[in-house]
Amino acid sequence: MQKENFLPVIRDLTDWYGRKQLNTRQIEMWYQQFRNTALEPFQWACELWMRTQRNLPTPQQLRDLLVDYWKAHPEKRAREDKKRAICDECDSRGYFDVWYDGGQDSQGHQIWYNKALPCAMCNNWRRCGIFPPDVNKFWTQEQIINNGFVFENPALDRMDQGRVEADTLDELGEQATQRL
């Protein structure tokens, strides 16, 4: 993305949240994070953030939204998946979608955050468009587990707990009324 295309988008983002304009150094730092991202996905991520969130995002939060963009629009990828290396570590995606513990909120509820981590076994992370080109930390599944990350959102209820087995709807209804 060209810097002249980037500037209006980032200014709209800061204006939306009533923040003072970023100084030249801050703009340069933000631009370095997204210079290899196409304008359309970057605009999409910024617009989605403005529609759904109350605070100015961090660059990592926008990169996480870019993951969603590429999942929603696989036809707009710059390179075809056929050119990706086959990788058993990350299932050839180039990154891991992981969760980490964010502590507890003021009501005592556990908070979990989502993050994308580049794969150490392949270069497919370069093709997904969510990481800056100067990434210097790469991950294997073992390192992810050893560092306390998990691969499934722990905040979601486990559907397999308390599952009712029934062959017919009548049996299911009887079991449901017995639990009440």
Domain spans in the chain, listed from the N-terminal domain onward: 1-76, 83-157
CA distance 34 to 56: 16
CA distance 1 to 6: 7
Query: For 13-61, what is each residue's pLDDT tens digit?
Result: 888 888 777 888 888 888 888 888 888 889 989 998 889 888 888 888 8
The whole-number pLDDT of residue 146 equals: 92
**Six-digit token string for 7:** 């500037």
Structure-token match 């992370």, residue found: 125
The whole-number pLDDT of residue 80 equals: 47
| 78 close to 38: Cβ distance less than 8 angstroms | yes
| 102 close to 134: Cβ distance less than 8 angstroms | no
The whole-number pLDDT of residue 71 equals: 82
3-state secondary structure of 163: coil
Residue 54: how many CA atoms within 13 Å on its side-chain side?
0
The whole-number pLDDT of residue 34 equals: 85
Q: What is the mean pLDDT of each run of 10 residues along the chain (180 residues)?
A: 86 84 85 85 90 87 87 68 71 85 84 86 78 79 90 63 61 69
The whole-number pLDDT of residue 78 equals: 57
**Element at 116 (helix H, strand E):** strand 110-118
The whole-number pLDDT of residue 161 equals: 46
| 151 close to 98: Cβ distance less than 8 angstroms | yes
| 95 close to 118: Cβ distance less than 8 angstroms | yes
Cα-to-chain-centroid distance, residue 175 = 40
CA distance 69 to 77: 10
Closest to 46 (Cα-Cα) out of 28, 62, 58: 62
The whole-number pLDDT of residue 81 equals: 46
**Six-digit token string for 62:** 């926008």
